[in-house]
A = this chain, B = another copy of it.
Amino acid sequence: MQLAAHPQQPDYSPRQNDVLDSALRLLVDGGEKALTTASVARAANCSKESLYKWFGDRDGLLSAMIGFQASKVRTFDDTAETLTAATLQEHLVLFARDLLEVLAGDVSLALNRLAIGQASRDGSKLGSMLQERGRRQIGKRAGALLEAGRDAGLLVFDDRDDAYDTLYGLIVSDLHLRMLLGEDSGRMVKDFGRRAEKAVSAFLRLYGSERSSAQS
């Protein structure tokens, strides 16, 4: 809550960023239980006292980790050219694959597990942070793409959020949850390409105009 007023990341020093990196690593391959203040201090070669001076307390460290990671994931915008049916589909498939790969990432999974684990006790502060900086950010890219498609007469929808919700569901389904529950994600990564194509194909059948659905 002490960082709520900050619109963007609180801009930690390079040293502190190193510490957050170590902490994320620790979290990724040890789970939350392994993320003790002592182990973070040891892994980052800093003192516990410094941790508390920089981040306040353990929860502050967790918040900082989420903010730090979110600041590293840049949502690049790629809607430059004018869209045709083919390029729209191409961009959608690209988006779908990117989305799946982000969700399947080690750090993303670990942070989502962390936030979900804390959701019952801290009033979902971490959860809303993750939601705000994670999905909503990547959703902007999809939203822009969808609206560009509509402006080009290739997509038909009233509510952009509804359309995005459908697209998201078609792409991800319960895959994210299954990975969060521990199902081996390595095995399914190779199918992301096919999965993305099928999802986009279904999405276009639902929201594509007649003009864009002129394919098998």
Given A173-B169, A177-B177: A117 and B127 interface contact (C-beta under 8 Å): no
A50 at the interface (CB under 8 A from B): no
Question: Is the beta-carbon distance between A128 and B182 smaller than 8 angstroms?
Answer: yes
Question: Is the beta-carbon distance between A182 and B124 smaller than 8 angstroms?
Answer: yes
Q: Which parts of A126-168 form the interface with B (CB within 8 Å)?
A: 127-128, 130-131, 135, 162, 165-166, 168
What CA separation (Å) do A30 and B173 show in the bound complex? 29
Query: Which residue of B has the minimal Cβ distance to A165?
Result: B173
Question: Is the beta-carbon distance between A181 and B113 smaller than 8 angstroms?
Answer: no
A176 at the interface (CB under 8 A from B): yes
**A120: which of B113, B119, B165, B198 is its contact (CB, 8 Å)?**
B113
What CA separation (Å) do A174 and B176 show in the bound complex? 9
Question: Is the beta-carbon distance between A127 and B182 smaller than 8 angstroms?
Answer: yes
Question: Is the beta-carbon distance between B178 and A131 smaller than 8 angstroms?
Answer: yes
In the bound complex, residues from chain B placing their C-beta under 8 Å from that of A128 are 181-183
Query: Which residue of B has the minimal Cβ distance to A195?
Result: B165
A121 at the interface (CB under 8 A from B): yes
Q: Measured between C-beta atoms, what is the minimum distance from A106 to chain B in Å?
A: 11
Q: Measured between C-beta atoms, what is the minimum distance from A100 to chain B in Å?
A: 12
Other than the given A168-B174, A176-B177, 19 more pairs (CB < 8 A) read A31-B120, A33-B120, A33-B121, A112-B177, A115-B181, A116-B181, A123-B182, A128-B183, A131-B181, A131-B183, A135-B174, A165-B174, A166-B170, A169-B174, A170-B170, A177-B177, A177-B180, A205-B205, A205-B206
